Structure 1
Amino acid sequence: MSSNRHIDAREMAERIKSGLPINVLDVREAMEYHTFNIGGTNIPLGKLPDMLPLEEWDSDDEIIVLCKMGLRSKTAVTILQQNGYTNARNLTGGLIALQKLK
């Protein structure tokens, strides 16, 4: 597994702080997303295969995939890559890791 499939919480926090556009895919369930999120598109992991191809992004766009702890998003990155999304990246540790930085 290559390192470009991952992004750590510190790098993600810097990207958010920079204000530059980030393609975020949150694969948590809708209720989790509405309780707390950092924006982005919400497609629960179980629905992701049925939603492909994604209208929002081209297959070579960087897509940062996240969930609560980084497990569902890791699976989602694999699904995306199997479907031609070459630049999908998992937020290691998920939103919990990001919140610990604050």
Structure 2
Amino acid sequence: MAQDIRVQELKSKMDANEDFVLLDVREPNERAAFNIGGEFIPLGSLMGRMGELEQHKEDEVIVYCRSGNRSGLAKEFMERAGFKNVRNLLGGMMSWAENYGTGK
């Protein structure tokens, strides 16, 4: 089970162009209002669309939502499906906005 990640570490990884998969599991209206990129699969669709992520089973996958709750569930679903390195963004976009604002 992979260690969860804080927004500061994620921002550093993004700034350094590190190789990882970023997954947004929020709803479309939340993503439209503010996002930091990555793949977009709402949590309610994740189980049915897990195959789209199959090639990333061994990769580092960082999952985010508004507060970290839905992405925590997504992490559990993905680990049960055999993903080896899934990390939940602690505090989600609320924490990101507190630290970095909502601008791109």
Q: Normalising by structure 1, report the TM-score.
A: 0.89
2:52 alignment partner, SS class: coil
1:66 lines up with 2:76 in the alignment: no
Match in the other structure for 2:26: 28
Task: Give every structure 1 segment of 4 or more consecutive aligned residues whose post-TM-superposition deviation is greater than 4 Å.
Answer: none
Aligned-partner Cα distance in 1 for 2:61–2:37: 13
Post-superposition shift, 1:30?
A: 1.1
- The residue type equivalent to 1:44 in the other structure is P
> Percent identity, aligned pairs only?
35
Unaligned runs of 5+ in 2: none
Quick check: 2:61–2:85 contact (8 Å CA) kept in 1? Answer: yes
Q: Determine the C-alpha separation between the residues in 2 that align with 1:32 and 1:79.
A: 21
Matched, 1:100 2:98: yes
Contact 2:20 2:59 in 1 (8 A): no
Report the Cα offset of residue 56 of structure 1.
6.7
Alignment root-mean-square deviation, CA: 1.5
Give the direction of change, closer, same or farther, for the CA distance of 1:38–1:53 in structure 2 (3 Å limit).
Answer: same
Aligned length: 100
Give the corresponding residue for 1:84: 82
